[in-house]
Structure 1
Amino acid sequence: MNILLKSAKIINSKTKEFHLKKRDILIKNGVIEKIASTIDAPSKTKIVTHKNLHVSLGWIDTGVSFGEPGFEERETIDNGLKTASSSGFTAVLLNPSSFPLPDSSSDIVFLKNSGEGQITNLHPFGNLTVNGKGETLAELYDMKNAGAVGFYDFKHAVSNPNLLKIALQYAQGFQGTVLSFPMDNYIAGKGNVNEGIVSTQLGLKGIPAMAEELQISRDLFILEYTGGKLHIPTISSGNSVKLIAVAKKKGLNVTCSVAVHNLMLTDEVLEEFDTNYKVLPPLRTNNDSKELIKGVKNGTVDFVTSDHTPLNIELKKVEFDNAEYGSIGLESSFGVLNEIFGTEESIEILTRGRKTFGLEEPDFKEGAKANLTLFDPKTELTFTEEHVVSSSKNSLFLNQKLKGLALGVIANNQIYLNS
């Protein structure tokens, strides 16, 4: 397939020669053949034009959930990857949130095979423990060899400190990454929103930020003792950023992410009792959001994830206490980040992550495989269900004004363009 991007503004600070320049880009059989001011289209070439066409290296999301196998009504792998492609992502890391949970090499092979032939690459996490019960380590080495990029009991903390110690020690032998969700279940109790003024006013049970900070403190102490690679997904507290910053100064091999909604929204939106705002970790205070944004800017927070969690309507259209945690986020990620950080910094954020999880990083030069995202950073829109490609519609950004629009992706010798 031949593709010609006409007058595309390149956003890639690593390639000084082309950064912020408008160029034509010719792609032949999945490879960038030529980058020049003007290129005449060869025969049988798909020409891509757009009034404000921008192009960058392909974006990656370090934590999404679909449904298949077991919860196909929420999202199939096929439609989940289509959603990712339409949202500008050429790679996603898949959380272990299906049924049965992926805790063996055969489960990882199934997930990898289910993503074969797609434009967006799927890289699954395997469960850290058997059945995600937090009792016995799963087949970590075998899953790594089958293609697992890390080991994670999704949204469940590793309650047993000795189990985390053993996991970090064992995984060092094959450069495995261990994930530990930052929440002490005993402190969190039956809470479901941030503990503070808003939870008190609304009469909702709270999860104090201390539940997150205690868990992170414990995990970092264990990491300092064992060594190894620890990733802490979706932090939400300003103090958590400070704890991780100290650990990084010590030289510990720790990374962390934040969910994009924890950067923009606070617990004040809960006043309408809209269950789309029920997420885990919960939306916290304005001060927490400010500290998290600072952490992203200075590199303490390594990645921003959509934390895409599709849920069918029966799990959300219930009383707040009974609703499931989670929001879809792939479709709105770029618009939110662009609003907060601006275009260049947003693209830098969206292309982080591959090296940490042992994935090949794409390159923006002639002769490199084309792994590109097309976007328009200036389009302003009110995000509605019409913009949702996911099977589930549980977005906490519905009816929010966002700035920026993904136009499509080019990867694996294929192109996806939004209509």
Structure 2
Amino acid sequence: MKVLLQQVIINDPRSPFHNTTKDILIKDGTISRIADSIEDGDAQLIALNGLTASPGWVDPFAHFNDPGAEYRETIESGAAAAAAGGFTTVFVLPNTKPVIDSKSLVEYISAKSGHLPVTVRPIGAVSQQLEGKDLAEMYDMKASGAVAFSDGLNPIQSSGLMVKALQYVKAFDGVVIQLPDDTSIAKHGLVHEGIISTRLGLQGKPMIAEELIVARDIKLARYTDSHIHFTGISSPKSIEYIQRAKEGGLKVTCSVTPYHLSFCDEDLQDYDTNLKVNPPLRTRENMLALREALRQGHIDCIATHHQGHNYDAKVLEFEYAKFGMIGLESCFAAVQTAVPELDPGQLAYLFSINARTIFKLSPALIAEGQQADITLYQPATQQPFTAEQLRSKCSNSPYLGKILTGKVAGIIKGHHFIHNPVI
């Protein structure tokens, strides 16, 4: 494979070519040359207006449902959706059937994704069968390739179990990922508790359910001197707690979803089940506070929380619809549209560099001699987000039909080059 990127803007704050416009020649999966002008008649030429090259993006929280619910997503369809969205690495949740709580399941995911253009890394379960009682085979899973540990969509409720998990991963400098939610508070909550939930007649879930778990787990991280990563943060108070922890030298990081930046509970007034998510969409004031936290650098990375659902799981009464939406294909444009003030360097950190650092992945540097791990995008291009752009098996997205800013042109990962002619 030989690809020539012509007059591409390099967006990699760690690269000596950052913020410059260069030609990049990729040969046999390696960046062989970067110069003002390169000629190579044998190479596939890519020349697009405003084309920008970033270190390959990482999504640290996505659900591919494989094994067990392949009718919603498979490793292959999920990887195709990731490539369409510009991601070269994706972490997949353990909430499968059977649960990814043993080395054999970790090896299954790794083996099945080995030939794909996107690196799919399994997140190992913290507890056996995700029951929140006894620790799973964490060391064996780590040795087999688990990138981090989490009970995924099942927030860890037991302080005792969380302490054990944090102490256990310390032995190999691992990370525990927590979706913060005290499920004993408003157990049947459907939307954010407030004026909108009352107006809609839907049971609400207050932000304190998230904030209590964040506060507790920060204390446990301090006690164990271990690393915890909070995903799906939706409360400004949670971000305040996390920022204080960082300032205190604790190993605490966090990510936010695109949809918590794009939507608020006011958008639920037509009962759009695609907006039924957990944690729920908060108030407009909270949404704006999350955007400001992103601008200020208080949020470490973006996590799509990609979760496909079949038609029958979403097209029914709001109360009975499943939680979650797909998000890989729309993520970049959704974030850029919601927070257009982010500069290119911030985007590189949010989508790639910080996640690689937090989870100790190999760096993706745009420099000569480095293995190609590159996301290509056009930041200024505006276009409607349509079903034709989806590569997921499901289409439960509230972004469909909306005009978004930002177009992913493709990815280059080693010997793989995926060019998106539509997206």
- For this structure pair, what is the TM-score category when the shorter chain's length is used for normalisation? over 0.9
Partner of 1:24: 23
Partner of 1:230: 228
Using the TM superposition, give the Cα deviation of residue 10 of structure 1 relative to its aligned residue in structure 2, in angstroms. 1.4
Partner of 1:76: 74
Counterpart CA distance in 2 for 1:245 and 1:343 is 21
Counterpart CA distance in 2 for 1:248 and 1:13 is 22
Alignment partner of 2:149: what SS?
Answer: coil
Range with bigger deviation, 157-166 or 139-148: 157-166
2:202 aligned with 1:204:
yes
Partner of 2:13: 13
Which amino acid counterpart does residue 201 of structure 2 have in structure 1? G
2:360 aligned with 1:358:
yes
Using the TM superposition, give the Cα deviation of residue 179 of structure 1 relative to its aligned residue in structure 2, in angstroms. 2.0
Which amino acid counterpart does residue 186 of structure 1 have in structure 2? S
Q: Would the aligned equivalents of 1:104 and 1:139 in 2 still touch at CA under 8 Å? A: yes
- 1:130 corresponds, among 128, 131, 149, to 128
Question: What stretches of structure 2 of length at least 5 have no aligned partner?
Answer: none
Using the TM superposition, give the Cα deviation of residue 42 of structure 1 relative to its aligned residue in structure 2, in angstroms. 4.2
Which amino acid counterpart does residue 314 of structure 1 have in structure 2? D
Partner of 1:157: 155
Alignment partner of 1:390: what SS?
Answer: coil
Q: Would the aligned equivalents of 1:258 and 1:305 in 2 still touch at CA under 8 Å? A: yes
How many pairs were matched up? 417
Q: What pairs with 1:334-413 in structure 2 (closer than 5 Å)?
A: 334-339=332-337, 340-341=339-340, 342=342, 344=344, 345-351=346-352, 352-413=354-415
Moved over 4 A (4+): none
Which amino acid counterpart does residue 279 of structure 1 have in structure 2? V
Alignment partner of 1:34: what SS?
Answer: strand
Counterpart CA distance in 2 for 1:227 and 1:240 is 20
Q: What pairs with 1:303-322 in structure 2 (closer than 5 Å)?
A: 303-322=301-320
Partner of 1:3: 3
Q: What pairs with 1:192-271 in structure 2 (closer than 5 Å)?
A: 192-271=190-269
Which amino acid counterpart does residue 376 of structure 1 have in structure 2? Q
Q: Would the aligned equivalents of 2:12 and 2:365 in 1 still touch at CA under 8 Å? A: no
Counterpart CA distance in 2 for 1:106 and 1:324 is 29
Alignment partner of 1:353: what SS?
Answer: helix
Alignment partner of 1:314: what SS?
Answer: helix
2:109 aligned with 1:142:
no
CA offset digits 1:2-55 (Å, max 9, x no partner)? 11111112122222x422322111111111111111111143x21112233221
CA offset digits 1:356-397 (Å, max 9, x no partner)? 112101111111111111111111112121221111000121
2:103 aligned with 1:105:
yes
Q: Would the aligned equivalents of 1:343 and 1:377 in 2 still touch at CA under 8 Å? A: no
Which amino acid counterpart does residue 12 of structure 1 have in structure 2? D
Which amino acid counterpart does residue 155 of structure 2 have in structure 1? A
CA offset digits 1:72-99 (Å, max 9, x no partner)? 1111101110111111111111111221
Using the TM superposition, give the Cα deviation of residue 299 of structure 1 relative to its aligned residue in structure 2, in angstroms. 3.0
Counterpart CA distance in 2 for 1:252 and 1:232 is 13
Alignment partner of 1:355: what SS?
Answer: helix
2:37 aligned with 1:38:
yes
Counterpart CA distance in 1 for 2:411 and 2:150 is 28
CA offset digits 1:241-268 (Å, max 9, x no partner)? 1111111122111111111110121010
Which amino acid counterpart does residue 347 of structure 2 have in structure 1? S
Q: Would the aligned equivalents of 2:2 and 2:27 in 1 still touch at CA under 8 Å? A: yes
Which amino acid counterpart does residue 41 of structure 1 have in structure 2? D
Counterpart CA distance in 1 for 2:103 and 2:294 is 34
Counterpart CA distance in 2 for 1:348 and 1:223 is 24
Q: Would the aligned equivalents of 1:238 and 1:287 in 2 still touch at CA under 8 Å? A: no
CA offset digits 1:301-341 (Å, max 9, x no partner)? 21111111111111111110111100001111111122214
Using the TM superposition, give the Cα deviation of residue 186 of structure 1 relative to its aligned residue in structure 2, in angstroms. 0.9
TM-score using structure 2 length = 0.96
Counterpart CA distance in 1 for 2:251 and 2:308 is 31
Q: Would the aligned equivalents of 1:328 and 1:394 in 2 still touch at CA under 8 Å? A: yes
Partner of 1:60: 58
Counterpart CA distance in 2 for 1:211 and 1:146 is 34
TM-score using structure 1 length = 0.97
Q: Would the aligned equivalents of 1:10 and 1:21 in 2 still touch at CA under 8 Å? A: yes
Q: Would the aligned equivalents of 2:17 and 2:367 in 1 still touch at CA under 8 Å? A: no
Counterpart CA distance in 1 for 2:279 and 2:223 is 27
Partner of 1:183: 181
Alignment partner of 1:174: what SS?
Answer: coil
Q: Would the aligned equivalents of 1:220 and 1:247 in 2 still touch at CA under 8 Å? A: yes
Counterpart CA distance in 2 for 1:175 and 1:59 is 23
Q: Would the aligned equivalents of 1:32 and 1:367 in 2 still touch at CA under 8 Å? A: yes
Counterpart CA distance in 1 for 2:304 and 2:168 is 30
Counterpart CA distance in 1 for 2:386 and 2:310 is 17
Q: Would the aligned equivalents of 2:11 and 2:19 in 1 still touch at CA under 8 Å? A: yes
